[in-house]
Structure 1
Amino acid sequence: MIKQGLLNEFNYEAENTRKLLKAIPDSALDYRPQPHLWSVAQLASHIANIYTWFDGTFNYDTFDIGNLERVEYDLTSAADILAKFEGHYQEAKKVLENSDESTYMNDWKMVAGENVLIPASPKIAMVRGFLFNHLYHHRGELVAHLRAAGYPVPGLYGPTYEDSQKR
């Protein structure tokens, strides 16, 4: 029952992620509002990459992010980032569909070798906080970057201000 709720949210929000990534023109990829912030390309590739973390979160009680295979992105191609997202999305969807709901209350932690990055907490809390909310946070940053650069953004939860002014 919990899994079905997670799947519904996952699929709905993946469509929002897809809309946002499709809205990125190559001309926006190098933009960063401040020198210390990630560029649009770096944010977009990080968003796409979060979908590779589903296996380590759902299928293990200890996720060693140091063992995660690094995915290389062409940061000069929005189409490449979108294509990688699509593949990662399909893999993450399978992981979620095949997850064992009886493990959702297991303690889960993230490590990098011997270093504990996220201390033990119920897996379901980490699915919501570490995977889902983390993803939404970075999507918000990406929307802000695109807007600051003067690019249009899609409405994710209804029409954008610009859309509402067209009526």
Structure 2
Amino acid sequence: MALIEIFLKELNAESETTRKMLQRIPDDKYDWQPHEKSMNIRSLATHIAELPTWVTMALTTDGLDFAAAPYNPTIINNTAELMDLFERSLVDGRTQLIAENEAKLEEPWTLRNGKDILVRNTKAEVIRMALSQIIHHRAQLGVYLRLLNIPIPGSYGPSADEQFVPIEVEETVA
């Protein structure tokens, strides 16, 4: 199986779990953060929702320079807007995961901040990093939701919230 096919299969599989996690965010919790050094839910969820676009960026550019193009996250204010952003990002990323782009995967791609090179990898490695970042930040969001006592979906099996818990029934003596 070609790498492009593997990346598309993984993006599709991970998007199912990511979608379930993002849908759990209550509209009144977007400004909540677990610690002063942590991102708030809005920033974290927006980042997760935008990450599939890194597939397109990796395959259509030679890099990203934060000094020339500072990050400006999409502004979202509720879960409906978040889900719309995520679905649009998925469509964007999937458009480049086509057989014709297999040859581009070994081309170099550089992440920099002006003269400082932060990462220099192949385009395939950048896509792998983006997929890993989706998983990593989704897990981070799961911790946020757990701290808010919001049931979380399972990722690679049922979560503790989805586990069947047997109910003990007292037998009555007749």
TM-score, structure 2 as length reference: 0.84
| TM-aligned CA deviation for residue 151 of structure 1 | 0.7
- Residues 75-126 of structure 1 show CA distances to partners (whole Å, capped at 9, x for unaligned) of x3121111111111111111223651112112221124443221x2222122
Q: Distance in 1 between matches of 2:16 and 2:3?
A: 20
| TM-aligned CA deviation for residue 22 of structure 1 | 0.9
Hey, what does 2:117 align to over in structure 1? 116
Cα pair 1:106 1:123 within 8 Å, conserved: yes
Q: How many residues align?
A: 164
Residue identity opposite 1:125 in structure 2: E
Asked whether 1:34 is paired with 2:12, we answer no
Hey, what does 1:101 align to over in structure 2? 102
Cα pair 2:52 2:131 within 8 Å, conserved: no
What stretches of structure 2 of length at least 5 have no aligned partner?
Answer: 167-174
Hey, what does 1:128 align to over in structure 2? 128
What stretches of structure 1 of length at least 5 have no aligned partner?
Answer: none
| TM-aligned CA deviation for residue 19 of structure 1 | 1.0
Asked whether 1:138 is paired with 2:165, we answer no
Return the index of the structure with the highest Cα Rg.
2
Deviates further, 103-112 or 80-89: 103-112
RMSD: 2.0
Map 1:10-29 onto structure 2 (within 5 A).
10-29=11-30
Q: Distance in 1 between matches of 2:80 and 2:5?
A: 31
Q: Distance in 2 between matches of 1:98 and 1:69?
A: 30
Hey, what does 1:79 align to over in structure 2? 80
Deviates further, 61-70 or 30-39: 61-70
Q: Distance in 1 between matches of 2:90 and 2:82?
A: 12
| TM-aligned CA deviation for residue 69 of structure 1 | 7.5
